[in-house]
Amino acid sequence: MTFVVTENCIKCKYTDCVEVCPVDCFYEGPNFLVIHPDECIDCALCEPECPAEAIFSEDEIPDGQEQFLEINAELAEVWPNISEKKDPPADAEEWDGKPGKLEYLER
């Protein structure tokens, strides 16, 4: 099993989750983070650290967000690894909770 970063991370990209990951399975894109499904050990440490509440167990992905399992797997293969917390985007709070952010995902 793996954890999955879902839509609400888009344009928020808080990195609090990265700091607690014991296996460094997060990968960073321009405005989104993903979890590599083959590296995640299902420890669940990242889930409560996400201020945007965008991380879910693959068994608990919200309805309509199932495509993020594939998106995480795909982008983790091409984006660079991230293992240290960074400042979020200046407008992260404005984007937190907005629906329909998939169109803004920068690959």
pLDDT digits (tens, 9 = 90+) for 39-84: 999 999 999 999 999 999 999 999 999 999 999 999 999 999 999 9
11: its two tokens: 């344009």
Mean pLDDT of 5-27: 98
Residue 12: both structure tokens together: 């928020």
Q: Which amino acid is located at 28 in the chain?
A: E
3-82 CATH: 3.30.70.20
- Plot region of 39 (φ>0 → left; ψ -120 to 50 → alpha; else → beta): alpha
Whether residue 1 has pLDDT greater than 90: no
- pTM for this one? 0.97
Quick one: pLDDT at residue 3? 98
Residues 6+ apart with CB under 8 A from 43: 21, 22, 23
